[in-house]
């Protein structure tokens, strides 16, 4: 009973925590949203870095993208809408990662599928190669004489590391 | 000198073709005379590529702008230090450089194996000279650095030399850029030698443990250079690109990571073949894959099919590389298929809880990493070809996919070595895992209490503690055992233990370097940045640091104009330092570039960059980044290098085994030739 109570209390804490986290997310300032978007899109000047990281000075592309984001933020648009506006203007290439729909899904799923196939293969190989432990011989082991035993021990010492 | 270089190139091509043919003939006919001739061709190939390289450097150093290559990539004002890298600044020069490094590797392989591996050598020469033929042909035909500038007029063609050259890309005028490309090339090109060894072993059916023992070192050396190149590339990006990061999952970066990952998989799985005679086909596949990825990376980034920040290195060599890759794949897989009968496993797994299984899973993760990086890198090309849609696959994709893979790999780095060969008992697992797990749990608790609540960051640091503790425990246990058996003090025991099995303990040092790398990566989660416009007297706060602009000075050096912002920095109200971020404008190249100001310690980097002047206010645009734990990335790189060098030193056991093999080889060779 006590354990059930603790579990339910834990669940409540988790739910409350998640609610607070979502509230905190929802309460992001426009500057934070702008920064998040800047990490999710690339600068199209050819630098191949995210908009936030473009090192080019006086970069027209960076300025244009930032301008669009600022305008949208001023209008109170949400992040997904702003991202869509950027895609409408520049195409999907502006996104720093392919959106997970249509053919792009293969980009996201193939590494995972490869990982699983690899895991399956590794397990199959391990199981196929696995040799059951050989049963102990019925006959008792012959005791080593003193000379042979010390020779073996000396030999083994060489490889102790 | 243009003509001398061009003659060197033609002669190199002739030697390469001759070496390839005579090498193959020597292998087929088992002719020592032909082998000698092939060996001389290798030395001729080396001499002629050296002549071509020296000629090109001479043209650069003497500002001979009649040479199209020199006019394109050098200028009079370029400092001598940066005239040397002009050799690999452009496509043509870098391919010549590549060919030259290959000639050095092949010459080294021939000289080091004059009395060893006699049966393997003919085909090793044939294969590596085949690679040399390809690179010489490309350099000579489509990427010739010895083309001259001429003016066509009604009276005919007259030689032309502009008064000055275009100059070197300012982004390349940086100290680590002098070493970064050569290291990467040494890594890429060097993978041709293990490939040649593998193919030769298959062709001659010499598939005992000798070829794999020799090949391991020939993989380790380029693997080490590739690693150094990758870290230097990260340093270059960190210091030059001005965005405060060292890895952007750029296609060129990915291209260097691919063979490194495949080579890492080989260096692990090769141990199973050496110890247990297993995974023979798999090791062949890994050697082939590593070489294939080395060439594929070049094709990927230099053909221009994928855009990259390394855009200075593109041209029309794509079709040549496509054909070459097809030849490599077809040839190597055919030879492998024909020799499958000779690659049967000698043993089976005794237990699932064994070192062998650990290596198998390590290979699984590494190959999954190769697949993920490769797929993400080529996906834009595939999407364009199939959907006709241009997409970008950047850091958000790679971080999501690669972080879990990296963490799994980190776990295996610690867990794998704690498993015994053949079979690990439950007691042994309990004994070996208890201390590292307790230590990791303590560290995990402390960092959680200290505020590390992001899952991946916490897991990364938890696993770093686990792996580090497992490594320390391995050294400690080994030294204690040795102290008991040899009556040595702890430090002598530790030293002798390491030197007795350099490969094993060098490997642990490499693993420790990987731990430090991950500590550095984890720091990225706490990166802080801010930006502001600053004129004299203006203040900018970044966490507990306060920056005050003391003034902005301008001036001119031999090849660039500069604008330096002097910033005094206080920390918690106490004067700390003065930093001087600089904006440079390279006149010959007509390109601006930022020169960052950096204050580093083991806890964090204070990274300041000026992005030029704001046209409206006339003030400097100052970007401040507080980057925690970055230094651990560079330290980790150095530790990996030290560990690799340690693992390359032959241990006393290896020296004895090597002598035994050499004696056997000589006996076989005497019988063979006689």
What chain A holds in terms of domains, given with CATH numbers, is: 2-96 (1.10.8)
CB contact under 8 A, A54 and B400: no
Between B468 and A136, the higher pLDDT residue: B468
CB contact under 8 A, B243 and A49: yes
B570 and B606: one domain?
yes
Residue A118 CB neighbour total at 10 angstroms: 18
Q: Is B439 within a domain?
A: no
Distance, in angstroms, between B243 CA and closest chain A CA? 5
Per residue in A28-61, pLDDT tens?
A: 777 788 888 998 999 888 777 888 888 776 788 8
Distance, in angstroms, between A108 CA and closest chain B CA? 8
**Which runs of E-coded beta strand occur in B32-110?**
none
B213 and B128: one domain?
no
Q: Which residues does chain A have within 8 Å of residue B361's beta carbon, measured at their own beta carbons? A: 122
Residue B92 CB neighbour total at 10 angstroms: 24
B216 and B117: one domain?
no
Select the residue of A49, A129, A160 nearest B485 (Cβ to Cβ): A160
Q: Which residues does chain A have within 8 Å of residue B371's beta carbon, measured at their own beta carbons? A: 110-111, 114-115, 118
DSSP A139: S
Q: Is B623 within a domain?
A: yes
B42 and B122: one domain?
yes
CB contact under 8 A, A97 and B392: yes
Q: Which of B229, B271, B273 is nearest to B253 (CA)?
A: B229
CA distance A133 to A139: 17
Q: Which residues does chain A have within 8 Å of residue B423's beta carbon, measured at their own beta carbons? A: 133
| CA dihedral over B641, B644, B648, B652, signed as positive or negative | positive
Distance, in angstroms, between B652 CA and closest chain A CA? 10
Distance, in angstroms, between B213 CA and closest chain A CA? 19
Q: Is B326 within a domain?
A: yes
Distance, in angstroms, between A73 CA and closest chain B CA? 19
Angstrom distances, CA of residue B306 to CA of B255, B302, B519, B568: 11, 9, 31, 43
B318 and B193: one domain?
yes
B304 and B189: one domain?
yes
CB contact under 8 A, A161 and B367: no
**B492 exposure class (CB count in 10 Å sphere: 0-12, 13-18, 19+):** middle
Q: Is B671 within a domain?
A: no
Question: Residue A21's pLDDT band (boundaries 50, 70, 90)?
Answer: low
Q: CB-side exposure of B10: number of CA atoms within 13 Å?
A: 6
Q: Which residues does chain B have within 8 Å of residue A125's beta carbon, measured at their own beta carbons? A: 360
CA distance A106 to B393: 12
**Which runs of E-coded beta strand occur in B476-580?**
528-534, 539-542, 545-556, 560-571, 574-579
Torsion angle in degrees (nearest 10) through CA of B631, B634, B639, B641: -170
CA triple A59-A60-A62, angle to 5 deg: 65
Closest residue in B to A111 (Cα–Cα): B372
Q: Is B512 within a domain?
A: no
The number of distinct structural domains making up chain B is 3
Residues 6+ apart with CB under 8 A from B83: B57, B60, B61, B74
DSSP B420: P
Q: Mean pLDDT throughout A115-138? A: 72
Q: Mean pLDDT throughout A93-112? A: 90
B182 and B310: one domain?
yes
B401 touches chain A (CB under 8 A): yes
DSSP-derived 3-state class of residue B586: strand
**Residue A6's pLDDT is what?**
58
Q: CB-side exposure of B471: number of CA atoms within 13 Å?
A: 26
Are the C-beta atoms of residues B113 and B217 closer than 8 Å to each other?
no
Specify the DSSP element, H or E, that contains B150: strand B150-153
Report the CATH number that the domain containing residue B565 is assigned in CATH.
2.60.98
B273 and B321: one domain?
yes
CB contact under 8 A, A160 and B368: no
Q: Is B475 within a domain?
A: no
**Residue A136's pLDDT is what?**
45
CB contact under 8 A, B379 and A98: yes
Distance, in angstroms, between B313 CA and closest chain A CA? 14
| CA dihedral over B131, B137, B57, B170, signed as positive or negative | negative
Which residue of A129, A130, A153 is the best one to mutate when testing the B interface, meaning the one whose CB has the most B CBs within 10 A? Answer: A129
B395 touches chain A (CB under 8 A): yes
Question: Residue A145's pLDDT band (boundaries 50, 70, 90)?
Answer: low
B341 touches chain A (CB under 8 A): no
Mean pLDDT split into 10-residue runs, chain B, 674 residues:
88 97 94 94 97 96 93 90 90 93 96 86 96 95 89 79 87 83 94 95 87 89 95 91 88 93 94 85 94 89 62 66 94 94 80 83 92 93 87 91 94 90 84 93 94 92 97 93 88 91 94 96 92 93 95 88 94 94 84 89 95 85 94 97 94 71 62 48
Closest residue in A to B611 (Cα–Cα): A57
B193 and B127: one domain?
no
**Residue A4's pLDDT is what?**
47
Residue B387 CB neighbour total at 10 angstroms: 13
Closest residue in A to B482 (Cα–Cα): A161
Are the C-beta atoms of residues B69 and B56 closer than 8 Å to each other?
yes
Give the percent of chain A with pLDDT over 90.
20
CB contact under 8 A, B395 and A50: yes
Residue window 634-663, chain B: list those with CB within 8 Å of chain A: 653
Residue that is written with structure tokens 């550095």 in the block: B520
CB contact under 8 A, B375 and A110: yes
Q: Which of B96, B89, B90, B127 is nearest to B110 (CA)?
A: B127
What is the SS3 assignment for B593-652?
A: EEECEEEECCCEEEEEEEEEECCCCCCEEEEEEEEECCHHHHHHHHHHHHHHHHHHCCCH
Model ipTM? 0.77
Q: Which residues does chain A have within 8 Å of residue B386's beta carbon, measured at their own beta carbons? A: 103
Angstrom distances, CA of residue B454 to CA of B433, B467, B520, B522: 25, 20, 15, 10
Q: Which residues does chain B have within 8 Å of residue A91's beta carbon, measured at their own beta carbons? A: 389-390
B4 touches chain A (CB under 8 A): no
Q: Is B304 within a domain?
A: yes
Select the residue of A107, A127, A160 nearest B397 (Cβ to Cβ): A107
DSSP-derived 3-state class of residue B148: strand
B367 and B280: one domain?
yes
Select the residue of B278, B364, B397 nearest A97 (Cβ to Cβ): B397
B35 and B113: one domain?
yes
Angstrom distances, CA of residue B545 to CA of B523, B538, B549, B567, B571: 19, 14, 13, 12, 5
Q: Which residues does chain A have within 8 Å of residue B383's beta carbon, measured at their own beta carbons? A: 98, 103-104, 107
Residue window 345-364, chain B: list those with CB within 8 Å of chain A: 345, 348-352, 357, 360-361, 363-364
B299: containing domain: 178-344+353-418
B499 touches chain A (CB under 8 A): no
Select the residue of B243, B361, B482 nearest A53 (Cβ to Cβ): B243
Q: Between helices B2-29 and B91-112, what is the axis angle to 10°?
A: 40
Which residue of A42, A95, A114, A156 is the best one to mutate when testing the B interface, meaning the one whose CB has the most B CBs within 10 A? Answer: A114
Which range, A99-108, A141-150, B185-194, has the best average confidence (pLDDT)? B185-194
Q: Which residues does chain B have within 8 Å of residue A53's beta carbon, measured at their own beta carbons? A: 243-245, 248
Residue B168: beta bridge partners? none
Specify the DSSP element, H or E, that contains B289: helix B280-302
Reading the block at residue A91, the tokens are 């195409």
Number of A to B CB contacts under 8 A, please give it. 146
**B45 exposure class (CB count in 10 Å sphere: 0-12, 13-18, 19+):** buried
Q: Is B646 within a domain?
A: no
Number of H helices, E strands in chain B: 20, 12
Residue B148: beta bridge partners? B67
B142 and B191: one domain?
no
């Amino acid at each position: 009973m006590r354990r059930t109570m603790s579990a339910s209390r834990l669940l409540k804490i988790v739910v409350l925590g998640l609610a607070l986290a979502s509230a905190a997310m929802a309460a992001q300032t426009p500057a934070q949203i702008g920064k998040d978007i800047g990490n999710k899109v690339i600068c199209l000047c050819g630098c191949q870095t995210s908009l936030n990281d473009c090192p080019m000075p006086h970069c027209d592309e960076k300025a244009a993208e930032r301008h669009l984001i600022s305008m949208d933020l001023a209008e109170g648009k949400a992040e997904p809408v702003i991202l869509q506006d950027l895609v409408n203007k520049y195409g999907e290439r502006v996104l720093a990662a392919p959106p997970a729909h249509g053919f792009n899904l293969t980009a996201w799923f193939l590494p995972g599928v490869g990982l699983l196939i690899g895991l399956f293969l590794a397990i199959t190989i391990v199981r196929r190669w696995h040799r059951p432990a050989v049963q102990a011989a019925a006959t008792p082991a012959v005791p080593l004489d003193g000379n042979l035993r010390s020779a073996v021990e000396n030999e083994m010492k060489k490889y102790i590391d | 000198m243009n003509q001398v270089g061009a003659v060197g190139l033609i002669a190199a091509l002739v030697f390469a073709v001759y070496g390839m043919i005579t090498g193959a003939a020597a292998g087929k006919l088992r002719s020592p005379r032909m082998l000698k001739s092939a060996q001389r061709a290798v030395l001729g190939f080396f001499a002629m590529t050296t002549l071509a390289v020296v000629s090109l450097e001479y043209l650069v150093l003497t500002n001979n702008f009649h040479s199209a290559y020199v006019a394109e990539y050098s200028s009079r004002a370029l400092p001598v230090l940066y005239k040397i890298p002009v050799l690999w600044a452009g496509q043509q020069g870098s391919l010549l450089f590549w060919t030259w490094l290959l000639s050095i590797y092949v010459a080294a392989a021939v000289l080091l194996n004059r009395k060893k591996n006699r049966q393997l050598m003919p085909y090793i020469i044939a294969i590596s000279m085949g690679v040399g033929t390809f690179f010489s042909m490309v350099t000579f035909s489509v990427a010739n650095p010895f083309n001259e500038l001429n003016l066509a007029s009604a009276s005919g063609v007259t030689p032309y030399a502009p008064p000055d050259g275009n100059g070197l890309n300012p982004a390349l005028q940086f100290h680590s850029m002098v070493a970064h490309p050569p290291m990467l090339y040494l890594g890429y090109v060097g993978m041709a030698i293990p490939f040649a060894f593998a193919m030769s072993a298959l062709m001659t059916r010499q598939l005992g443990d000798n070829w794999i023992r020799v090949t391991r070192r020939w993989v380790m050396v380029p693997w080490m250079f590739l690693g150094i190149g990758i870290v230097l590339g990260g340093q270059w990006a960190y210091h030059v690109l001005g965005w405060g990061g060292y890895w952007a999952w750029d296609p060129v970066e990915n291209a260097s990571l691919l063979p490194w990952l495949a080579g890492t998989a080989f260096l692990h799985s090769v141990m199973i073949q050496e110890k247990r005679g297993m995974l023979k086909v798999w090791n062949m596949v890994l050697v082939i894959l590593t070489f294939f990825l080395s060439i594929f990376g070049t094709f990927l980034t230099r053909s221009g099919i994928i855009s990259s920040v390394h855009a200075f290195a593109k041209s029309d060599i794509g079709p040549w590389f496509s054909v070459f890759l097809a030849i490599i794949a077809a040839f190597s897989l055919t030879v492998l298929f024909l020799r499958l009968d000779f690659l049967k496993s000698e043993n089976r797994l005794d237990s699932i809880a064994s070192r062998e299984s650990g290596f198998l899973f390590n290979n699984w993760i590494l190959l999954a990493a190769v697949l993920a990086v490769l797929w993400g890198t080529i996906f834009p090309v595939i999407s364009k070809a199939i959907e006709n849609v241009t997409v970008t696959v950047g850091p958000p994709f790679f971080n999501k996919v690669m972080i879990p893979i990296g963490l799994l790999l980190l776990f295996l780095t610690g867990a794998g070595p704690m498993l015994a060969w053949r079979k690990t008992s439950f007691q042994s697992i309990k004994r070996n895992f208890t201390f590292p797990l307790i230590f990791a749990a303590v560290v995990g608790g402390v960092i959680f209490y200290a505020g590390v609540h992001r899952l991946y960051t916490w897991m990364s640091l938890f696993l770093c503690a686990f792996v580090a503790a497992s490594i320390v425990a391995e050294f400690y246990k080994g030294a204690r055992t040795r102290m008991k058996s040899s009556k040595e003090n702890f430090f002598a025991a530790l030293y002798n233990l390491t030197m007795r099995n350099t490969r094993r303990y060098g490997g642990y040092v490499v693993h420790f370097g990987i731990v430090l790398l991950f500590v550095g990566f984890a720091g990225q989660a706490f990166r802080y940045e801010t930006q502001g416009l600053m004129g004299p007297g203006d203040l900018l706060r970044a966490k507990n640091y306060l920056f005050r602009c003391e003034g902005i000075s301008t001036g001119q050096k031999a090849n660039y104009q500069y604008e330096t912002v002097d910033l005094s920095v206080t920390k918690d109200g106490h004067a700390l330092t003065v930093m001087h971020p600089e904006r440079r404008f390279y006149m010959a190249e007509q390109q601006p570039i930022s020169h960052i100001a950096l204050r580093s310690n083991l806890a964090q980097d204070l990274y300041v960059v000026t992005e030029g002047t704001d046209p409206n206010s006339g003030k400097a645009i100052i970007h401040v980044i507080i980057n925690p734990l970055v230094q651990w990335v560079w330290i980790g790189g150095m530790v990996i290098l030290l560990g690799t060098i340690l693992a390359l030193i032959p241990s006393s056991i290896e020296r004895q085994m090597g002598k035994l093999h050499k004696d056997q080889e000589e006996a076989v060779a005497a019988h063979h030739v006689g």
